[in-house]
Amino acid sequence: MSGDLFAPRIPEAVANRRPLADRLRPTSLAEVTGQSHLTGEDGVLRRMIASGSLGSMIFWGPPGTGKTTVARLLSGEAGLAFEQISAIFSGVADLKKVFETARLRRHDGRQTLLFVDEIHRFNRAQQDSFLPVMEDGTVILVGATTENPSFELNAALLSRARVLTFRSHDEESLSELLLRAEQAEGKPLPLDDSARGALLRMADGDGRAVLTLAEEVWRAARANEIFDVDGLSAIVQRRAPVYDKSQDGHYNLISALHKSVRGSDPDAALYYLCRMFDAGEDPLYIGRRLVRMAVEDIGLADPQALVVCNAAKDAYDYLGSPEGELALAQACVYLATAPKSNGVYTAYKAAMRAAKEHGSLVPPKHILNAPTKLMKGEGYGDGYRYDHDEPDAFSGQDYFPEKMGRVTFYDPPERGFEREIRKRLDWWDKLRRERNPR
């Protein structure tokens, strides 16, 4: 006989009514939907398992994309013990217990996959505590985060783990989840075609959300009842988007707004802005897109554009709806009527390509600090000229790595404030040639 004789017996009917998302949790990596680049036949994780070279990883992606599920399945298919903790509820003492358990298990010849949910919530010292156990093989760490690892995780931790990106579910993978739900329930969702499409959009790429919404629909439906979009919105207490991808939808309208701003047409920009407001789009989403337009299409041609957009976002936060929408409308008109430049945007992309192509080149020694005698002895800081002490506060020294040579990324156009920047750059180029002849 197995089991606990004194544990309360859970009726089978109750046990079978676990949340739909939990009941439909995949039982193998092959069943995971929406992440074929990771879990498909040629996916990264399947290749790792096949080669027996599983290492520590960071799973980065939005909620409801399967990070926890994939970690659990990964441990099973790789033959690893599975331990799970959450950075929200755990501290150093909890980590020590897990590490000690993993060490004991390792002595018995079995390795541990430690899954850490919300790993970005651990502070620097807590993150550092993973380093020794990762290095000596005590655990294979799999951390999950919805935040950009580059900003939220220590460089030392990132250098020892591979970052794998989980993608939001698209309409196809969400539809597949709904079909699985209907098969599991043995009945179709009581929605007409338009309501079904609206439910998919309400989920916003979250697989867990689409199953939870479906469960709400089944609970609310009476015999032979079929819901339309309005009925669906009333049941789940969410406003259904009045546009979709196939017509003048979310992506089409934000594209139209962006291109109208870029094309300096404030009237068209306002029209598409109001279309999105009327459709129930999140105003803060629009605010974020306006900030993006400010840095991509206006840039330094008008440095105030970014200030105006951030102020509009703050004004909306302060006023709320409907008063706050006017601040966003004002920012939209400002952007559309501002001088345009993608000079910084183009320079950034070129510099990023160069950074990837040239790798970790060391900066020239004359611009490196020398806080120790050893570093001074190595020549750090030798020959550096303090620009404020130079004529025109400009030394004209070369700051690029010696093996790379000087490269021009930023080429501002003769528009708006960048006209003044162009004059400065030309002047500095002239001084640089005069003071540092080759």
Same domain, 320 and 201: no
Asked, for residue 7, whether it belongs to a domain, the answer is no
DSSP 77-123: HHT-EEEEEETTT--HHHHHHHHHHHHHHHHTT--EEEEEETGGGS-
Which one, of 370, 336, 367, 354, lies nearest residue 405 by Cα? 354
Same domain, 196 and 302: no
Asked, for residue 25, whether it belongs to a domain, the answer is no
Distances (CA, A) of 423 to 88, 264, 411, 420, 429: 52, 25, 11, 5, 10
Which residue range forms the structural domain that includes residue 175? 171-236
The tens digit of pLDDT for each residue in 369-405 reads 888 888 888 888 898 999 999 999 999 888 899 888 8
- Provide the domain count of the chain: 4
Per-residue pLDDT, 63: 87
**Residues 6+ positions from 382 with CB-CB distance below 8 Å:** 365, 366
Same domain, 190 and 139: no
Same domain, 287 and 372: no
Per-residue pLDDT, 6: 44
How high does pLDDT run on average in the chain?
Answer: 88
Same domain, 215 and 259: no
Same domain, 201 and 305: no
Per-residue pLDDT, 49: 92
> Distance from CA of residue 422 to its chain's centroid?
35
Rounded distance between C-alpha atoms, residue 341 and residue 343, angstroms? 5
Which one, of 202, 205, 197, 226, lies nearest residue 213 by Cα? 202
Rounded distance between C-alpha atoms, residue 202 and residue 178, angstroms? 13
Per-residue pLDDT, 52: 85
- Categorise residue 109: left if φ over 0, alpha if ψ from -120 to 50, beta otherwise: left
One-letter identity of residue 260: S
Rounded distance between C-alpha atoms, residue 115 and residue 67, angstroms? 10
The tens digit of pLDDT for each residue in 175-222 reads 999 999 999 999 999 999 989 998 998 888 889 999 999 999 999 999
Which one, of 371, 393, 396, lies nearest residue 383 by Cα? 396
Rounded distance between C-alpha atoms, residue 290 and residue 334, angstroms? 10
With 0-12 / 13-18 / 19 or more C-beta atoms within 10 angstroms meaning exposed / middle / buried, residue 45 is buried
Per-residue pLDDT, 247: 45
Rounded distance between C-alpha atoms, residue 86 and residue 121, angstroms? 9
Per-residue pLDDT, 365: 87
Question: Which structure tokens are listed for 343?
Answer: 């000079």
Asked, for residue 82, whether it belongs to a domain, the answer is yes
- The answer to whether 344 and 299 have CB atoms below 8 angstroms apart is yes
Asked, for residue 244, whether it belongs to a domain, the answer is no
Asked, for residue 18, whether it belongs to a domain, the answer is no
Q: Of 182, 204, 236, which residue constitutes the final position of a domain?
A: 236
Produce one character per residue of 234-250: b if its CB has 16 or more CB atoms within 10 Å, e if not.
ebbeeebbebbeeeebb
Question: Which structure tokens are listed for 72?
Answer: 């659990």
Rounded distance between C-alpha atoms, residue 345 and residue 306, angstroms? 14
Q: Of 165, 182, 213, which residue constitutes the final position of a domain?
A: 165
Per-residue pLDDT, 389: 92
Asked, for residue 321, whether it belongs to a domain, the answer is yes
CATH code of the domain containing 293: 1.20.272.10
Per-residue pLDDT, 3: 41
Same domain, 282 and 329: yes
Rounded distance between C-alpha atoms, residue 388 and residue 400, angstroms? 20
Per-residue pLDDT, 239: 53
Which one, of 283, 227, 225, lies nearest residue 257 by Cα? 283
Q: Of 165, 198, 228, which residue constitutes the final position of a domain?
A: 165
Same domain, 181 and 103: no
One-letter identity of residue 410: Y
Asked, for residue 318, whether it belongs to a domain, the answer is yes
Per-residue pLDDT, 175: 94
Distances (CA, A) of 420 to 204, 423, 427, 429: 44, 5, 11, 14
Same domain, 42 and 156: yes
Same domain, 289 and 411: no
CATH code of the domain containing 48: 3.40.50.300
Instruction: Quote the radius of gyration of the chain (alpha carbons, Å).
Output: 28
Residue 206 CB neighbours (<10 A): 18
Rounded distance between C-alpha atoms, residue 309 and residue 178, angstroms? 39
**Residues 6+ positions from 137 with CB-CB distance below 8 Å:** 106, 111
Asked, for residue 273, whether it belongs to a domain, the answer is yes
Same domain, 214 and 111: no
Per-residue pLDDT, 322: 85
Same domain, 213 and 143: no
Q: Can you list the residues of the chain whose pLDDT is less than 50?
A: 1-7, 245-248
CATH code of the domain containing 379: 1.10.3710
Rounded distance between C-alpha atoms, residue 200 and residue 210, angstroms? 7
Per-residue pLDDT, 62: 86
Rounded distance between C-alpha atoms, residue 69 and residue 26, angstroms? 7
